[in-house]
Amino acid sequence: MGRRRARVVGIAAVTVASADTPPTGLRGRLGHVWQLVHRWKGRILFAFLDQGLYSTTNFVLTVLYAWWLPLEDFGRYVVVWTAVFFIEAVQNSMIIDSLPAIVSHHGRHNRGRIDVAGFWVVCVFGAVSSVLLLAAAAVLAALNSAYALPVLVLALVNPLQRMYLYYRRLCYIRDRQGVAAAAAAAYSVTLLAGAGLLAFFKVISVGAVLALPGAAASAAIATIVIAGIGRLTRVRVVNVKWLTIRIWNSGRWLAPAAVVSWLMSWGIFPLVALFSGPGAAGVIRALQNLLTPIVQFNSALNLALLPRVADKVADHGNDYARRFALRATAGFAGLVLLYCGAILVSAPILLPLLYHKPEIAAAEGLLWPLSFGIVWEASRVAASMSLLATRRTRVVLLSRLIALTVFAVGGVALGWAAGLSGVLWANAIATATGAAIVIFTALRPRSVAA
């Protein structure tokens, strides 16, 4: 009996050792690749479906709003919507992007408590951000009344948008990408149906279209909760405090970086509207909208990969993070480069066909700096996944501050020489500078002591 037990133990040890041993030979490596593809195909498919529905809906609505709204109103909608991107940037950096690493290191087998604690953290964040929007609406009522009502509407629907973003990330942490895709379908149907009704009854306005995402977020949250994710249980205050501290420790360098990033990307629209009118902001957003699908495609990859990369780094160490950074940076940048090339070639046909506004078609040349910046931004996002998984976030802030400095200096010089085109090129060069710093840090070998 003892010999038999020893033999079984020996076989188990050999099996475990062989599982950890890297495959050798062409057949072994191909088999390993096939196993990875089989394991990830469901996750990636549903992640693409989720992000595809979300981004396609936003793309279509941007085109429709450019059709249905006067160019000045469309520009005002763009300017107000930049506040949503600002709040989302802070939420993503402080809370959403920090969660996968926190769960992987502290609560992989106790995620229910972290889910509930995270709910209350997001509730507080949504309430605080809505109060700030209400204050902004009060100020705008005195300075520029055309923006006051849209910002007020945004303040009312903001908590629902914050919660949908949180519940959506929970789906990926729980490895339930199919639920995220179903929620995205509910979100898309609600948005498109609501926009269609507004246009049909001829009651479309900036305030009305800003209210629609609140209803769509409610439908998406209900879909996720019905699937059994994020259901509320009794919460202990100590758990909320614990998670808040962990989020702060992980994201305190990311939130300022997100603010700087917003200043360089979306912050440019309020500035353009201030100096050149809201119509000019609408033109730039319409051009940028053509490049949005590939950005959202990469976001889908980011959503699907980051929680699993965090798990892998927790199990295998920093070498895995560096290898992943190299492959992801090359892959993300290559995809975006191909897409942007296709857009640049077809822009003379696409712009008049999509928007039916001569002001937008005449600004075709501005797609070049926008494309250059997006390629580098995709590379930065890919490398940042490695830094997030290893909880190295200070360099993200440093890179953004350097990029902002480059943008400030270059924007004045190139803007003086070439106008709006020069400002966009300065923005693209600054984005490339910040991305290069992040990529270098992610690829640099890191000692065990670090």
Cβ-proximal residues to 435 (8 Å cutoff; 6+ apart), any chain: 376, 377, 379, 380, 383, 399
Confidence of residue 13 (pLDDT cuts 50, 70, 90): very low
Cα–Cα distance for residue pair 267/262, rounded to 1 Å: 6
pLDDT at 39: 55
Average pLDDT over residues 315-328: 76
Between 49-58, 107-116, 264-273, 371-380, the lowest mean confidence (pLDDT) is in 107-116
Cβ-proximal residues to 272 (8 Å cutoff; 6+ apart), any chain: 280, 281, 284, 420
Cα–Cα distance for residue pair 276/448, rounded to 1 Å: 53
b vs e for 43-78, b when ≥16 Cβ sit within 10 Å of the residue's Cβ? bbebbbbbbbbbbbbbbebbbbbbebbebbbbbbbb
15 CB-contact burial (10 Å; exposed 0-12 / middle 13-18 / buried 19+): exposed
Average pLDDT over residues 31-53: 65
**Model confidence pLDDT, tens digit, residues 351-394:** 999 998 899 999 999 999 999 999 998 888 888 877 777 767 67
Please indicate whether residue 297 or residue 263 has the higher confidence score (pLDDT): 263
Contact in structure between 45 and 179 (CB atoms under 8 Å): no
Contact in structure between 218 and 81 (CB atoms under 8 Å): no
Average pLDDT over residues 141-167: 95
pLDDT at 32: 52
449 pLDDT exceeds 60? no
Q: Other CB atoms closer than 10 Å to residue 303's CB: what's the count?
A: 22
29 pLDDT exceeds 70? no
198 pLDDT exceeds 60? yes
83 pLDDT exceeds 90? yes
Confidence of residue 286 (pLDDT cuts 50, 70, 90): very high
Cα–Cα distance for residue pair 308/99, rounded to 1 Å: 12
pLDDT at 138: 96
**Model confidence pLDDT, tens digit, residues 171-183:** 988 888 889 999 9
pLDDT at 25: 60
Q: What is the mean pLDDT of the chain?
A: 83
Please indicate whether residue 153 or residue 238 has the higher confidence score (pLDDT): 153
Cα–Cα distance for residue pair 198/219, rounded to 1 Å: 18
**Model confidence pLDDT, tens digit, residues 230-271:** 887 777 888 888 888 888 887 777 788 788 878 888 888 988
152 pLDDT exceeds 70? yes
Cα–Cα distance for residue pair 340/345, rounded to 1 Å: 9
Q: Which amino acid is at 82?
A: T
* % of residues, the chain, pLDDT over 90: 43
Which of helix, strand or coil describes residue 445? coil
pLDDT at 343: 94
Question: Tokens representing 234?
Answer: 């009794």
CA distances from 440 to 136, 252, 258, 295, 305 (A): 39, 22, 19, 22, 21
Helix, strand, coil abundance in the chain, percent, nearest 5:
90, 0, 10
**Model confidence pLDDT, tens digit, residues 327-348:** 878 888 888 999 999 999 999 9
7 pLDDT exceeds 70? no
Q: Which residue has the tokens 């394991």?
A: 39
Question: Tokens representing 449?
Answer: 């002591």
CA distances from 439 to 174, 230, 336 (A): 29, 35, 16
